A and B are shown apart, each in its own frame.
Chain A
Amino acid sequence: DIVMTQSPDSLAVSLGERATINCKSSQTVLSISDNENYLAWYQQRPGQPPKLLFYWASTRESGVPDRFSGSGSGTDFTLTISSLQAEDVAVYYCHQYYSIPFTFGPGTKVDI
């Protein structure tokens, strides 16, 4: 199985400041055949189901504010919130869909 790790476990950021979340996979999730990283990011607000933010590591889902960005390739990925808003308080998960069983990272809690 591909093991996903995230850092930090949690972080507190002031409104308007930058938040950076790191995700690392135990094996590459970059496909040679299509040159895509099979990596997604989700946001889960308290009491709600997860919401897809990015797929292919950096393709923003429709409706996701552009203060969110995804980057990285191979085994190292980053989710950045450029200017934290109150509604961004949530747990963020990375997810590899390169190899079954697909797996999630443990999550990073973002607070104000």
Chain B
Amino acid sequence: EVHLVQSGAEVKKPGESLKISCKGSADIFTNFWVGWVRQMPGKGLEWIGIIYPRDSDTRYSPSFQGRVAISADNSINTAYMQWSSLTASDTAVYYCARHRRAATNPSDAFHIWGQGTLVTVSP
């Protein structure tokens, strides 16, 4: 069975950096787009961006471009999202998710989801 396992909850101070991870249980990354979704406390889902680990082609929402960086390490089936300087507004649960089809076309629904990583940014 395919799983995505995300790194654990983080508590950070404003201005600190952070890198969270999302690891696949098998060779499920190479030919699939993997993305990140934000859910702020009590709010809905926001699409952050996606990466194609085979060639690191990355697409971002303009709302998040420049604020986060998405990367991947194909050799260990792991995707990452990082911040260089956190703010309180980054407090949220972040989900990684894999697209449904193995394809170079980025247009697809999210099929497999990680359990979520809670990031809390507080002074």
Are A107 and B109 in contact, with the CB atoms below 8 A? no
Report Cα–Cα, A110/B65, bound state, in Å. Answer: 33
Are A100 and B45 in contact, with the CB atoms below 8 A? no
Interface of A is mostly: loop
Please give, as numbers and ranges, the residues of chain A lying within 8 Å of B116 by CB-CB distance: 49
Q: 25 A–B contact pairs at CB < 8 A? A: A1-B61, A38-B107, A42-B110, A44-B45, A49-B95, A49-B97, A49-B116, A50-B37, A50-B113, A51-B113, A52-B111, A55-B108, A55-B109, A93-B45, A100-B61, A100-B106, A101-B59, A101-B60, A102-B50, A104-B37, A104-B44, A104-B45, A104-B46, A106-B44, A107-B44
A95 at the interface (CB under 8 A from B): yes
Instruction: Report B's interface with A, CB cutoff 8 A.
Output: 37, 44-47, 49-50, 59-63, 95, 97, 100, 106-111, 113-116
A31 and chain B: residue at smallest CB distance: B107
What's the nearest-Cβ distance from chain B to residue A11, in Å?
A: 16
Instruction: Report A's interface with B, CB cutoff 8 A.
Output: 1, 38, 40, 42, 44, 49-52, 55, 61, 91, 93, 95, 97-98, 100-107
